[in-house]
A and B are shown apart, each in its own frame.
Chain A
Amino acid sequence: MNIPALLECLVDPACLLTQFTGALILAMILFLVASGLSLIFGVLGVLNFAHGSLYMLGAYFTYSLMVRYGNFGVAAILASIGVGLFGVIFERLFVRKIYASPILYQLLLCYAFILVLDDLAKLVWGYEFLSMGVPPSFRRPPIHLWGSFIPPYYVLIMIAGVIVALALWLFLARTKYGKIIEAAAYNAEMLSALGINVPLVYTMVFGIGSALAGLGGVLAGPARSVFPGMGFSVIIESFIVVVIGGLGSIGGAFLGAILIGIMRSLGIIGFPAIEESFVFILMAIILIIRPQGLFGKEEV
């Protein structure tokens, strides 16, 4: 334990800014994955355990598109759309069949897909880890702001994360389609009676949720290793984010992700030996104080 180091960092702008931006990087990737997870759960009531695999697909798609087109922007957009389309097909062919089945079936289906997709990745891209490196235009020294270090590529991730969060919020809260999705979450039968094609809404939501996970993989890909099974590393933390933020709440996922990022980033200075467990301690405390999560609605 090193409390003096933590206090010292808290009053030093250089340290604080470096750690805070570091926290935001973890948070933005987590948010992208967790928001998709939360959206799908909120509307469809499906616990998509295979969500981490969609994150993995996003990274692999980006890798292949980068090899082909050499342009990160193009690769990023196409890869996210690709994962979204994969989600649409996954929902149409498989998830749809188990909406009314016991929850165990959902778990089994998703778990099966984790294994299938990991093996598929191994067949298509090989068993070795791949590394694509950050796009050339971002390969430059870190930005120094008040003595802190901020890598240019991470600025891109932060901006992308915030834009997606805002866009998602505006879409859900301010557009007709957003209202329909919200209505589908509350009362699908009534919505159906009003002449809205509810299964289509579900498919779209699953597609959007998948694309968000895909975008998480797209942005993380260049900075992290890409390998079969990489989805595992984000899925547990994403679930924690969703639990902390409140099931089905996008704002909750955003705040939850930032909290986890900060806990890890500052925890590592103050409590390097037990930094990993901080996230779980945070979850336990929030669940005790507010069992429905920060932004969750109380169960009836």
Chain B
Amino acid sequence: MHQSKPTKGGLTRRDFIKTTAGGAAGLAFGGLIGMPKAYSAPPITIGFESIFSGRVAMLGETGLNGAQLAADDINAKGGVLGRKLELIHRDSGGKIEEAVRIARDFVVKDKVDFLMDHASSRESFAVKEVSRDLKIVTMITASETTANTADPKIRTEYSFRSARQSIHDCVVAGYYAAELSGKLGLKRWHSISPDYAYGHDSTDVFFEFLKKKKPDVEIVGQAWPKLFEPDYTPHITRILRDKPDAMYSSLWGGDTTAFIEQALMYGVFEKIKFFCINIADYTVLKGLKEVPEGLYTGSRYLRNVPDTPANHDFADRYFKKYGALPTNWSWECYTGILFLAEAVKKARSVEKEKVIKALEGLTIKAPCGQDGTVTMRARDHTSIGYAIAWGKTLSKEPYVTDLYSLPWKTLIQEETAWLKKKGWL
């Protein structure tokens, strides 16, 4: 370490570069460590690990809100088996090693009954090893990467997923895009998605299904900006140059709004039909100064998908409590708590083997269910039956119109064929 005492201006170029590199590493691997909140002697405890700081703080915040809403509902009715549900939450800052440490601490020190893993796939894949190792029943509520529960080499018997599964969204997206490609003559396709597991997974599978349904489409180019890229200008100008008829995107959150604002300046949407899986979530819709009309989007969370009294009630109660509409993450966590509570009730115990058995194949009433229910599939511990729809954007409520969805029967047929092709089934 540099020990001399440089006075003002005494920094050498070498110091500068060394410090810059050190600082860059600090920034890259640093992040905030949240203040642990410990509650005393809760009857049934759930350790909730997520990101509450920095760029994706809303992942943790709105997810926890959803989980808390469900816990409060259940507690208001006397809890589960006469015991109260309590959530303890901690911030991983998006760091894998921190997420693993938090998960271990939850089990070893706090002796929680269940884990809730509400972080991106990067952390989730690592936390799953903790679940396997410490044999703790874990609800995955944010990681959508298909392999997390679908790949037999990766999944564990202790992990369950109440979050979406990327493959399901992609099947609907592929069918929808194929239908519109036929109608509107969209032959030349482009894509712009974040350059990490989820972005590639989502984009590749989308094109796989689009091509399956519409073999004459052609991919003329693909853009892979890094996650949280502040400026998409070079990508936008390149896409304009490639002159596609349509483009697919799995950008999410603030990246989606930044891209849309910048693309609007170049008049991109007048020339290119834009299909983005992640626009219809209230954080994005409210984040945009003006929602451009005529974009195509998947539903992350919308009050009218499914358009049922149960879902309206969920959205309204959430709004009343938190002053904002739920996000996709809110319902995923809400559903996760419902699954755990129902399983404990059914098992009449919090013992892991009994809860696992109770969870497998469990069907519960849930606001996000396409037919009012969702089921935890026994085979791969992933949730099915949740509402998925695509539609065209509107600038005002309800923001999305001409909704399109597929029956779950078709979805599962396509998923099964895909899994077999992958050798995962």
Contacts of A130 in B (CB 8 A): 287
Give the size category of A's interface with B. 35 or more
A178 CB within 8 Å of chain B: no
In the complex the two chains form, is B238's CB within 8 Å of A131's CB? no
**Which chain A residues (121-177) contact chain B, with CB distance < 8 Å?**
122, 127-134, 139, 141-142, 149, 151-154
The answer to whether residues A154 and B253 also contact, given A127-B57, A236-B24 and a CB cut-off of 8 A, is: no
In the complex the two chains form, is A47's CB within 8 Å of B55's CB? no
A34 CB within 8 Å of chain B: no
Give the size category of B's interface with A. 35 or more
In the complex the two chains form, is B23's CB within 8 Å of A107's CB? yes
In the complex the two chains form, is B55's CB within 8 Å of A141's CB? no
The answer to whether residues A233 and B254 also contact, given A130-B287, A247-B13 and a CB cut-off of 8 A, is: no
The answer to whether residues A128 and B283 also contact, given A107-B23, A224-B258, A268-B234 and a CB cut-off of 8 A, is: yes
In the complex the two chains form, is A223's CB within 8 Å of B16's CB? no
B111 CB within 8 Å of chain A: no
- Least CB distance from B283 to A in Å reads 6
In the complex the two chains form, is A104's CB within 8 Å of B238's CB? no
Q: Which residue of B lies closest to A23 (CB)?
A: B234
Contacts of B226 in A (CB 8 A): 276
In the complex the two chains form, is B237's CB within 8 Å of A47's CB? no
B410 CB within 8 Å of chain A: no
Q: Which of B32, B55, B254, B266 contacts A119 (CB 8 A)?
A: B32
Contacts of B41 in A (CB 8 A): none
**Which chain A residues (12-30) contact chain B, with CB distance < 8 Å?**
15, 18-19, 22-23, 25-26, 29
In the complex the two chains form, is A9's CB within 8 Å of B241's CB? yes
Given A149-B266, A296-B13, 19 further pairs, Cβ under 8 A: A45-B10, A47-B19, A49-B23, A102-B3, A102-B5, A107-B19, A114-B27, A118-B53, A119-B53, A129-B253, A142-B267, A149-B237, A149-B240, A151-B266, A223-B262, A228-B54, A229-B55, A272-B223, A276-B226
Contact string against A for B residues 217-243, beta-carbon threshold 8 Å, 1 for contact and 0 otherwise: 000011110101111011111101100
Binding site for A on B (CB under 8 A): 1-13, 15-17, 19-20, 22-24, 26-27, 30, 32, 52-55, 57-58, 61, 221-224, 226, 228-231, 233-238, 240-241, 253-255, 257-258, 261-262, 264-267, 270, 283, 287-290
Contacts of B8 in A (CB 8 A): 44-46, 99-100, 188
Contacts of B11 in A (CB 8 A): 41, 45, 47, 103
Q: Which of A26, A151, A235, A265 contacts B265 (CB 8 A)?
A: A151
